[in-house]
């Protein structure tokens, strides 16, 4: 599914997120991560938080924040038009 500057897939209890360009990859995972995808198994997730798009006419982007058992934090950002897909993802990850 497409998010804001990211693509995310959740298959077989594994979340895979890729930044669509270098800036998005750095924002997602930090400069030390490099060019690869972020891959997180469900059993490696310590917490998952969901915040829907909000504000007047949905002008504030929504996000899912995934924290791993190793202490890493990943923020998956989405726009109002992408909210239905990310709400479904949040349900699958146990945030709703």
Domains and CATH numbers, the chain: 6-93 (2.30.29)
pLDDT at res. 47: 97
Reading across the β-sheet that carries 45-51, which strands appear in turn? 45-51, 62-68, 73-78
Instruction: Tell whether the model's pLDDT for residue 16 goes beyond 90.
Output: yes
The CA distance from 8 to 35, in Å, is 15
Residue 9 is predicted with a pLDDT of 96
Region 12-37: mean pLDDT is 89
**In the predicted model, what is the mean pLDDT of the chain?**
92
pLDDT, tens digit, for every residue of 34-51?
778 999 999 999 999 999
Find all residues with CB under 8 Å of 10, minimum gap 6, and list them.
16, 89, 92, 93
Reduced to 3 states (helix: H, G, I; strand: E, B; else coil), residue 23 is helix
N- to C-terminal Cα separation, the chain: 18
**What's the length of the chain?**
96
């Amino acid at each position: 599914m497409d998010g804001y500057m990211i693509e995310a897939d959740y298959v077989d209890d594994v979340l895979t997120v890729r930044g669509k360009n270098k800036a998005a990859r750095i924002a997602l995972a930090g400069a030390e991560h490099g060019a690869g995808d972020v891959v997180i198994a469900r059993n490696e997730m310590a917490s998952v938080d969901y915040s829907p798009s909000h504000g007047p006419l949905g002008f504030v982007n929504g996000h899912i924040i995934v924290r791993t058992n190793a202490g890493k934090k990943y923020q998956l950002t989405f726009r109002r038009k992408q909210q239905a897909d990310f709400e479904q993802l949040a349900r699958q990850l146990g945030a709703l």
